[in-house]
Amino acid sequence: MYPPELIAILILLLVPVSAAVLLAVFKPDLVRNVLAGITSVIIIGASVFLAWKALIAPVSLTLEHTEWIGMLLFIAEIGVALVILGLSIKYRKILPLLLSVIQLILILILEFFGIAGPHAMTTFTVTGLSAVMVLIIGIIGTLICVYALGYMKDYHDHQIGVPVRKRYFFALMFLFLSAMFGLVLFNNLMWILCAWEVTTLCSFLLIGYSRTPEAMKNAFRAVWMNLIGGICFTLAIFFLLRINTPVNLLSVTDLLAFPNVSALTIPLAFIAVAGLTKAAQMPFSTWLTGAMVAPTPVSALLHSSTMVKAGVYLLVLFAPLFSQTWVGIFLALIGAFTFLATSALAISQSNAKKVLAYSTIANLGLITACAGIGTAEAIMAAILLIIFHAVAKALLFLCVGAVEHKIGSRDIEDMDGLLVRLPLLATMMVIGISGMYLAPFGMLISKWAALEAFLTAPLGYVFIAILAFGSAFTIFFWTKWLGKLFMRMNRPPAEKIALHISEKLSVIVMGVLVIGCCLGFPAIITGVIIPYLNGIHPYFYLGNKGFFYFDTLVMLGLMAFILLFLVIGAFLGSREGRTIAPYLGGRAVDSEGRFLGSLGVYKEAKTSNYYLEEYFGEKVLLKPSWVISGVLIIVMLVLGFMGVMIWI
Amino acid sequence: MDIMFIVGAVLFLILAPILGGLLTGCDRVLTARFQSRVGPPLLQPFYDVAKLWHKEKAFSNPVEIIFTTAYLVLIAFSGAMLATGGNLLFVFFSLALAHTFLILAAYSANAPYAHIGAERELLSVMILEPILILFAAGCFLVTGSFDTYHMLIQDVPGIIYLPGVFIVFIAVLTLKLRKSPFDISTSHHAHQELVKGVTSSLSGRSLAKVEIAHWYEMMIFLSMILLFFAGYPVLSAVAIILVFLLEIVIDNIFPRVTWKMTVKSLWIVTLVFGVGNIVVLGILGGIV
């Protein structure tokens, strides 16, 4: 009899794939809804079970006869490369073609000349970190898929020219989940590489879903950038195999326990580049901002629970190794710089999805910075950021997607007074935005943790300075969005289309999750993160310090209580008094809030938010940022080849 | 939590608005003398607030009642936190949240003046953020903790280690005391393009709450000067009075600073003195 953990793992790996195959076959909407619903319930159940088991004690399972799994994954990998190759030829894209050929050759060399024979190693490992990822993929990922059931119906009603290919769409979404589960559960780097490539392919196909010229252009940009990551990953494996040691370095657990880190700097540098591409860090950020041409559930999936999280997962996984090298410091610098640059860029954007995209990249930058620093405090901050960002960002994307279908725009300038026009969605949006930057919510706790981690890290003062200015930018762009929602403008009421039940369900559950994570963060830290950290740094003890200090917790609680009181007050409080027209500099104003113009006509007074494009526009900031981050990456690789270590 | 801390918090909650109002009165008298006017009576700020409190309840959006209340409550809460020797970062985060509520109140008014005022208030929050984080980081590097309590029991006054941060702090105080720039949000200068910007659509009790919150905030920022001179009460008092007078002088010398000049000049000061200070401390390996 198989142990229950193994069954859960197999369910997580195989059920989404099988569902993908079935979803690709059956056409009727009803069958799809039922199938997707059942699959989602199974995935959520299995991931919760597995995470629970892993939190009690890390799961580590070894299977015999894994050669055939390796073979199967190898074939899948070749298939992925061939599909990208074929599409590159079809659309005549030189760069992706070239990169996929290189990748194909590298994989073939690796398979037939690289490995002398299969080494025995642990097959699956589920640590605290992978448990967190399993929960994120299993719960948030499936909720996004459920949301997509309703969303895609509206999507095709709005996008008339786009061919309806829902079977293809949903098959890819579920395949994506399988690949992500593989990525976080496998222990063999070769297998992880395969899952890595599958996520590249899935994101490529999903971004190009509408097949418009813009979509294809952005899809190919995504694929060539991620192929660079794939190639770097493969090169990392090459360099690992060149190290002469009896230890099997392709096993993640053995690699992490390898004592001679100074021999590992070259593969670490390549792994870092791979992580940076997938996490859309500068200078690779444009693929993620371009990815917003895809239907919103795809953006939500890419930004919150899959793809970009695969990148930072890899970096956080190897954070203990990074912490001893200068490669890590430069990785952290790239992340911190990305945080600063993209937070500034977000100020200049009025497109809600683009603001979200830049904020995603910024937060991933912060996670990357923490991973590069790699101390116990930094890893804790990174994991907290991963969790809070995943829930809040997924919620925000789902809201923007639904709002776009209701008001016909994703421009923040068109969202004024949304709280009156679409109360449910706007409330959820307020929760999401608050969760991204306000006290006492989640991201702020993570920022706090990051701050403490930076202060005790080598070169920490550089990171502090960057974080200080970066977080000033985040305050600016989030608050002006938040303000828009509370404005009360004379807008025509939104179309009376009811929200699909699947959309409503996902949005509400996600909102509850955001609040739950914010309230339950002490439990997350003590129950999940500390045990994981103790696996790496046996002497790490959080105790009574920093934001986890008892008094601070009391204060956070008090603050939450004050806020709760205010929310209740907002609903129950007295509104006694006279509502008068707004002040317009003494002009005559009518009851609608319009002013009397000089030609005797009442006119609407219109103001818009600051975007400060002369300072923060893409035209101003993008190119210098590419140069700076490019130089940082080159320096990182050079330091990797020189094998420079940090003395402590 | 020590009983002394609770006493401190309660004292702050009661005394801060009284002192803050008196200081505002002094400020108005002094400024008037600078400009060869007689000026209002010392207690004028209290008369103003009392009058506002009894005005008719009128608003352009009823939600502003709750937002201005939230602003006042959270500012007072931050001050109480500071008075208990609490966590400096937490005080700053709570202040940022309070300001978010003020900005939301202005947004909800749905008026162009209030909206632009809100945006500029937001800019001032943005300008302030790096300085506050560097300040907190500096305290951490000196004492190994974000708690102001540890800063106060230092043997050596903080200004020895954090002179750069202190300079930046003085520079931003002009902003926090609503002195310069004249065109930002609620500057006390009468002749400005935004007619009191962020508060232009507030009246009656809402405006009174904002005024009281402003007194609290003034006291919070002035009492932070204590952190630089801990252990030397006379020196602290002198420093606070000098800084306050300096601010009034600065205000009267530079009456036409715009928000763009403010962003640039303050961030340059922050980069040079604030970041410079932290980097030097960091290279020296901190104090602890």
Tell me what the pLDDT averaged over chain B comes to.
84
Q: Which residues of A are less than 8 Å from B134 in CB distance?
A: 464-465, 468
Could you write out the DSSP letters of every residue in B34-68?
A: HTT-----TTHHHHHHHHHHTS--EESSTHHHHHH
Q: Does residue A262 share a domain with residue A173? A: yes
> How many contacts (CB atoms, under 8 Å) link A and B?
188
Question: Which amino acid, A147?
Answer: Y
Q: Does residue A77 share a domain with residue A45? A: yes
- State the average pLDDT over residues B17-37: 88
Confidence of residue B191 (pLDDT cuts 50, 70, 90): low
Distances (CA, A) of A300 to A321, A382, A441: 31, 20, 21
- State the average pLDDT over residues A145-154: 86
Confidence of residue A525 (pLDDT cuts 50, 70, 90): confident
Q: Does residue A521 share a domain with residue A405? A: yes
CB B163 within 8 A of CB B105: no
pTM for the whole structure = 0.93
Q: Which residues of B are less than 8 Å from A569 in CB distance?
A: 66, 69
**Domain's final residue, options A573, A594, A620:** A573
What six digits make up the tokens of A555? 């204060």
Q: Does residue A556 share a domain with residue A474? A: no
Q: pLDDT tens across A410-463, in order?
A: 888 888 888 888 888 888 999 899 888 887 777 788 888 888 888 888 788 889
Nearest CB neighbour to B60, from listed A552, A581, A609:
A581
Please give the pLDDT value at position B215.
Answer: 92
Residue A580 lies in a domain: no
Q: Which residues of B are less than 8 Å from A545 in CB distance?
A: 145
Query: B87 and A580 in contact by Cβ < 8 A?
Result: no
Query: A610 and B123 in contact by Cβ < 8 A?
Result: yes
Q: What is the ipTM of this complex?
A: 0.92
Nearest CB neighbour to B60, from listed A467, A486, A579:
A579
Q: Does residue A569 share a domain with residue A476? A: no
Measured in whole angstroms, the distance separating CA A447 from the mean position of its chain's CA atoms is: 16
Confidence of residue B49 (pLDDT cuts 50, 70, 90): very high
Nearest CA in chain A to B122: A476
- Residue A569 structural domain: 543-573
Q: Does residue A557 share a domain with residue A508? A: no
The total domain count for chain A is: 2
- State the average pLDDT over residues B249-264: 79
Please give the pLDDT value at position B5.
Answer: 76
Please give the pLDDT value at position B158.
Answer: 81
**Domain's final residue, options A573, A589, A619:** A573
Residue A584 lies in a domain: no
A251 beta partners? A188
Please give the pLDDT value at position A539.
Answer: 64
Confidence of residue A57 (pLDDT cuts 50, 70, 90): confident
Per the model's pLDDT, the better-predicted residue between A117 and B183 turns out to be B183
Q: Which residues of B are less than 8 Å from A555 in CB distance?
A: 81, 86-87, 90
Place of tokens 């392919």: A201
Query: Would you kindly state where each structural domain of chain B is located, as residue ranges?
Result: 3-283
Q: Does residue A235 share a domain with residue A167? A: yes
Q: How far apart are CA B41 and CA A306, in angstroms?
A: 65
> What is the least distance, in Å, from the CA of A416 to any CA of chain B?
9
Confidence of residue B152 (pLDDT cuts 50, 70, 90): confident
Query: B146 and A546 in contact by Cβ < 8 A?
Result: yes
Query: B90 and A556 in contact by Cβ < 8 A?
Result: yes
With a CB-CB cutoff of 8 Å, which residues 163-202 of chain A face chain B?
A: none
Q: Does residue A621 share a domain with residue A488? A: yes
- When mean pLDDT is compared across A256-270, A341-355, A480-494, B65-79, the lowest value belongs to A480-494
Q: Which helix (H) or strand (E) holds A124?
A: strand A124-126
Nearest CB neighbour to B111, from listed A417, A461, A583:
A583
Please give the pLDDT value at position A371.
Answer: 92
- Radius of gyration of chain A from Cα atoms? 25
Q: Does residue A549 share a domain with residue A537? A: no
Given a cut of 70, whether residue B1 has pLDDT beyond it is: no
Q: pLDDT tens across A344-403, in order?
A: 999 998 888 899 999 999 999 999 999 998 888 888 889 999 999 999 999 999 899 888
**Nearest residue to A336 (alpha-carbon basis) of A468, A466, A472:** A466
Select from A421, A459, A464 the residue whose CB has the most chain B CBs within 10 Å, as the one to mutate to test that interface: A464
Confidence of residue A321 (pLDDT cuts 50, 70, 90): confident
Quick one: DSSP state of residue A60?
A: E
Q: How far apart are CA B154 and CA B229, in angstroms?
A: 9
Nearest CB neighbour to A486, from listed B108, B146, B283:
B108
CB A354 within 8 A of CB A619: no
- State the average pLDDT over residues A5-18: 88
Q: Which residues of B are less than 8 Å from A579 in CB distance?
A: 58-62
Nearest CA in chain B to A467: B130
Query: B58 and A582 in contact by Cβ < 8 A?
Result: no
Confidence of residue A473 (pLDDT cuts 50, 70, 90): very high
Please give the pLDDT value at position A115.
Answer: 63
> What is the least distance, in Å, from the CA of B176 to any CA of chain A?
16
**Nearest residue to A365 (alpha-carbon basis) of A381, A352, A347, A348:** A381
Contact with chain B for residue A427, Cβ under 8 A: no
> What is the least distance, in Å, from the CA of B238 to any CA of chain A?
30
Q: pLDDT tens across A568-616, in order?
A: 887 777 777 787 777 777 777 776 667 777 787 887 777 788 888 888 8
Residue % of chain B over a pLDDT of 70 = 92
> What is the least distance, in Å, from the CA of B253 to any CA of chain A?
28
Distances (CA, A) of A425 to A395, A419, A431, A437, A498: 10, 8, 10, 19, 12
Select from A415, A461, A578, A580 the residue whose CB has the most chain B CBs within 10 Å, as the one to mutate to test that interface: A461
Q: Does residue A550 share a domain with residue A537? A: no
Q: Which residues of A are less than 8 Å from B66 in CB distance?
A: 566, 569-570, 573
Given a cut of 80, whether residue B68 has pLDDT beyond it is: yes
What six digits make up the tokens of A217? 């252009």
- Radius of gyration of chain B from Cα atoms? 19
Question: Which amino acid, B116?
Answer: I
CB A551 within 8 A of CB B1: yes
Contact with chain B for residue A483, Cβ under 8 A: yes
Q: Does residue A209 share a domain with residue A68? A: yes
Q: Is the peptide bond before A96 cis (omega within 30 degrees of 0)?
A: no
Per the model's pLDDT, the better-predicted residue between A369 and B157 turns out to be A369
Contact with chain B for residue A486, Cβ under 8 A: yes
Given a cut of 70, whether residue A190 has pLDDT beyond it is: yes
Q: Which helix (H) or strand (E) holds A602?
A: strand A602-603
Q: Does residue A550 share a domain with residue A478? A: no
Please give the pLDDT value at position A364.
Answer: 93
Select from B100, B125, B139, B288 the residue whose CB has the most chain A CBs within 10 Å, as the one to mutate to test that interface: B100
**Domain's final residue, options A520, A551, A573:** A573
Please give the pLDDT value at position A395.
Answer: 92
Residue % of chain A over a pLDDT of 70 = 94
Q: How far apart are CA B21 and CA B207, in angstroms?
A: 15
Residue A578 lies in a domain: no
> What is the least distance, in Å, from the CA of A4 to any CA of chain B?
44
Task: Please report the sign of the dihedral spanned by the C-alpha atoms of residue A11, residue A16, residue A18, residue A19.
Answer: positive
